[in-house]
Every structure is written in C-alpha cells, then in structure tokens.
C-alpha cells in the first residue's frame, strides 16, 4: 500500500538528464520501497518505475568511555633500582569492550596489555620518583586515563638509621630545570623527620619536615629550591637528615 507520496517540482527538465532529491526524517531501522512516475507539461503520466529499496540505519548510541583504575603498586611504595615492579589495573567498558590497557611512567609508555588481567611487569626500574598510570581504550576508540600512583626508586639499599640522597643527573642537580633529589632514610620509630639544606657557609636555604607514621624506609623530595620556592645557586650543599634513630649529613652538588 502507498504509505506516503512526495511531489517533486521539476520544471524545465531536460530529457535524459539526472535529478536528485533528498528525503529526510526517515525512521531509523525501517525499510523503505520507492517508485517513481512523472507527468509532462500536457498532463500525461508515465508508467510506474521499477522499485528501489533502502534501509534507514539506526543512529548509533553515544559511546560511553571505559573505566580504569590503578590497583598496584601501592601509592608511595619504595623500590630499589633494578627491581621489577608489577603494575596492575582494573578496566571495564559499560557499553562495549576494553581492547587495550597501556601503562605509563610519566610520558613514557611502558607496555600494552590487550586482555584481562591487565598486568605488566616493569623490569629494571631506574632511580627517581615515578608517576605511574594506565590508559584504557575501548572498541569504539574511547579512552580513559586512570589516576596516578607515585613510586620512589632509590639507587641504594637503605638500612635502619641510614640516609642517602639519590636522583638528579649523574649524582648532581641542575637547579631550575625540573630535576629533583630524593632524600631516603630509615627512621627506627614513628615521629618527626626533618631534612634541612645548608650552604657550606652554614646558611640554611631549605627545611622540609614530615611526620612518619611508622619505622621503615621514607623519602623526601627536594627540587633544588629554597624556602621561597626559588632555585638555589650553584655550589655544594650540606643536607642534614634528623629523625627517630636517624642523624646523617650528606653533601650534594647543584649546577646551573
């Protein structure tokens, strides 16, 4: 049966030419059958054309991005250079499937996993403070970035009551160039841990204090700035570390 009829104005049509007409507002998911007949300027009608069939594609739903969260390693966990760190993320997609999860340390891609469980072993980790995250991608191109987990990797094994300074570049620090030194120590009990940086003339340039909840390996990051947040000058500095069971002094070099 005839469901709808559309009259197409076609004045002064050249015989044998092609005309195009767009029909809008079709129902998604419906099948349409089209036939055509014409009328000349004397009122004569042509025969009905052969049928043409078209299917109106449904409008695809808006993609919902995947969900992803880092599970391991624990935030602020401490490691020694050369260790293997297992990175674990949970990922799921509400309207499709997760096709990849890529793990990053800063801007560096460490590895990609294409199936659950989303686990990657980061081998031979370098010294420094690393911000680790996961990026999940779904089957329709949606991406989600997880929250970051910070881990600290030191170059030395620190024992009870010990302290050491790691990081920078080849053992020294370029002030004002987004480099940092990590002061690692092992207090023997909970309490206040203080790191102070002095010039060789005895002038204190930076003081950092944290309350540690338990004995064990702790880390404090110094970015080569003074107490006003400005880069310190080039030179050799004395770093003192004091806390429960810890009283150490370490020299560090700052270059421009």
Find out whether 222 and 208 touch, Cβ atoms under 8 Å. Answer: yes
- The matching CATH number, chosen from 3.30.2310.20, 3.40.640.10, 2.40.128.630, 2.60.40.10, for 67-153 is 2.60.40.10
Find out whether 62 and 138 touch, Cβ atoms under 8 Å. Answer: no
pLDDT at 156: 63
- Digit-coded pLDDT (tens) for 141-150: 999 999 999 8
pLDDT at 88: 97
pLDDT at 129: 84
Q: Which pLDDT tens digits describe the chain residue by residue (256 residues)?
A: 456 677 777 666 777 777 778 888 888 888 888 888 888 777 888 888 888 898 888 877 889 999 999 999 988 787 877 788 999 999 999 999 999 999 999 999 999 999 999 999 998 788 788 999 999 999 999 999 999 998 888 766 666 666 777 655 445 677 667 777 878 888 889 999 999 999 999 999 999 999 988 887 788 888 889 999 998 999 999 999 999 999 988 888 888 7
- Digit-coded pLDDT (tens) for 40-49: 777 888 888 8
Instruction: Indicate the pTM of the whole model.
Output: 0.48
What is d(CA 69, CA 52) in angstroms, rounded to the nearest whole number? Answer: 51
CB-count burial class (<10 Å; 0-12, 13-18, 19+) for 179 = middle
Q: How many residues does the chain have?
A: 256
What is d(CA 156, CA 80) in angstroms, rounded to the nearest whole number? Answer: 7
Provide φ and ψ at 148, rounded to 5°. -90, 150
Domain boundaries of the chain, sorted by first residue? 67-153, 158-255
What is d(CA 231, CA 242) in angstroms, rounded to the nearest whole number? Answer: 23
pLDDT at 132: 96
Find out whether 51 and 34 touch, Cβ atoms under 8 Å. Answer: yes
CATH of domain 158-255: 2.60.40.4070
């Amino acid at each position: 049966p005839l469901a709808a009829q559309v009259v197409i104005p076609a004045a002064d049509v050249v015989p044998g030419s092609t005309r195009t007409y767009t029909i809008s507002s079709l129902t998604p998911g419906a099948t349409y059958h089209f036939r055509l007949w014409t009328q000349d300027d004397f009122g004569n009608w042509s025969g009905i054309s052969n049928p043409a069939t078209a299917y109106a594609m449904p409008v695809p739903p808006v993609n919902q991005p995947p969900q992803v969260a880092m599970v391991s390693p624990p935030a602020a966990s401490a490691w020694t250079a050369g260790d293997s760190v297992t990175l674990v993320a949970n990922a799921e997609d509400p309207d499709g499937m997760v096709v990849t999860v890529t793990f990053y340390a800063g801007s560096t891609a460490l590895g990609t996993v294409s199936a659950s469980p989303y686990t990657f072993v980061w081998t031979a980790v370098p010294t420094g403070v690393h911000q680790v995250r996961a990026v999940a991608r779904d089957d329709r191109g949606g991406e989600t970035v997880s929250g970051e987990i910070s881990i600290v990797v030191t170059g030395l094994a620190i024992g009870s009551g010990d302290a050491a300074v790691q990081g920078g570049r080849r053992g020294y620090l370029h002030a004002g160039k987004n480099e940092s030194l990590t002061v690692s120590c092992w207090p023997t009990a909970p309490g206040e841990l203080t790191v102070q940086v002095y010039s060789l003339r005895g002038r204190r340039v930076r003081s950092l204090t944290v309350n540690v909840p338990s004995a064990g390996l702790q880390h404090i990051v110094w970015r080569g700035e003074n107490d006003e947040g400005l880069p310190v000058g080039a030179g050799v500095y004395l770093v003192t570390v004091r806390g429960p069971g810890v009283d150490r002094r370490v020299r560090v070099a700052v270059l421009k």
